[in-house]
Amino acid sequence: MPFVDLRAQYASIRSEVMAAIESVMERQQFITGHEVEALEREMAAYVGAEAAVGCASGSDALLLALMALGIGPGDEVITTPFTFISTASAIARVGARAVFADIDCATFNIDPDAVAAAITPRTRAIIVVHLFGLAADLAPIMAMASARSIAVIEDAAQAIGARYRGRQVGAIGELGCFSFFPSKNLGGIGDGGMVTAKAATAPRLRVLREHGSSRKYSYESIGLNSRLDEIQAAVLRVKLRYLDQWTNQRRRKAKRYRELLARGGIEDSAQPPIEPPGRDHVYNQFTIRCSRRDELRDFLAGRGIPTQIYYPSPLHLQPAFGGLGYREGQFPNAERASREVLALPIYPELNDANQAAVVDAIAQFYG
Ligand SMILES: *Cc1c(COP(=O)(O)O)cnc(C)c1O
């Protein structure tokens, strides 16, 4: 059984995807154009944002968001240490300082109280990550940010379609950042990303992704080369039409994992992720918290069951952020999560027999 099976999904939409690719080949326009513009409109409508701007990756979406806010040297940006590297490397890349705030143990998401404690007069933004597909607790964070004119950027790379109190993530903060990396819930056939924003911010994002230029060979600022390809946009437009269906399938698989873990009587040793009221999880990952994690992982691997560890080390302990001066013990919840998390296979086409085999093997290990 694979950890993620992209072939099953492709098989189900093959003719539509191939037709979309062929139409781009016929037009021979590859870098931004009709497909990208259409996807931007469709994504903005889907998420409920005023505007959306395509770019080369989710990592660049974060970078463009910070650049659009004019964040740079002397500024601080608060974020979680329990996330993918890009969330924090984007902050360093614009010359600002990443200030970490610990996570909430139950949800793996940034803890609003820890954010409050990390705010200083230099804080310009907070990057909130909706980790594994569950919305972070945005309301208290939005309230403290708006009282101090601090921008909230949502890293929604793993959470397209997730909701917080009825609203979709990516349209709640000042800017939303999405990734179309192939294993994300809306995955392209290569790298791609998108920033959702207020209508007034979109022109700035478009200039920044295009070398800082709005008119050919006239440069208003220092930008990037970070466009979305037509071929990616064409495929993503096909897949966006199926996204809700796939999300519902992921949610059903998650429900079934919970039932199987409960039936096996092993929820204490292998705790399923929680879904607080008003926060619809989209399960880019189904991450359990478990004891003897590394042993369990080896045991499952021996039975042909693939798992992944997101993330084996929190960012404050990574050599790349050594210059920030953090030490072990400063973010105990993130450190503990790094020792206890294990992601089980989850994708819309995951079949019942495989799911049962995963949980049977976990039960054997703890039995
Ligand atoms: C995948 C991911 C990114 C980066 O997206 P890319 O498209 O791979 O650059 C950023 N943040 C989080 C939380 C992610 O999971």
Q: What is the pLDDT of residue 367?
A: 86
The CA 301 to ligand 1 mean position distance, Å, reads 26
Mean pLDDT across the stretch 8-19?
Answer: 97
Q: Is 179 in the pocket of ligand 1 (CB under 6 A)?
A: yes
pLDDT, tens digit, 9 for 90 and up, residues 295-310? 999 999 999 999 999 9
The CATH label, of 3.40.190.10, 3.30.43.10, 3.90.1150.10, 3.30.470.20, for the domain at 244-366 is 3.90.1150.10
| pLDDT tens-digit map of 280-293 | 999 999 999 999 99
Class of the CATH domain delimited by 6-240: alpha beta
Span 39-45, average pLDDT: 98
Which residues sit opposite 196 in a β-bridge?
52, 176
Model confidence over 311-343: pLDDT tens digits?
999 999 999 999 999 999 999 999 999 999 999
149 CA from centroid of ligand 1 (Å): 26
Three-class SS string for 143-171? HHHHHCCCEEEEECCCCCCCEECCEECCC
Q: Taking the complete model, does pTM exceed 0.95, yes or no?
A: yes
What is the band of 154 on the pLDDT scale with cuts at 50, 70, 90?
very high
> What separation in Å is there between the alpha carbon of 8 and the centre of ligand 1?
23
Residue 191 near ligand 1, beta carbon < 6 Å: yes
Report the alpha-carbon distance of residue 34 to residue 236 in Å, rounded. 13
Is there an atom of ligand 1 within 6 Å of 129 CB? yes
Domain boundary assignment for the chain:
6-240, 244-366
pLDDT at residue 54 tops 90: yes
Q: Which of 66, 87, 287 to mutate to test the pocket of ligand 1 (most atoms within 8 A of CB)?
A: 87
Any atom of ligand 1 within 6 Å of the Cβ of 133? no
Cα(152)–Cα(146) distance, rounded to whole angstroms? 9
What's the chain's average pLDDT? 97
Percent of the chain's residues with pLDDT above 90: 98
Q: With residue 242 as reference, give the H or E element that holds it.
A: none
* Contact present, 62 and 84 (Cβ < 8 Å): no
Ligand 1 centroid to Cα of residue 61, in Å, is: 9
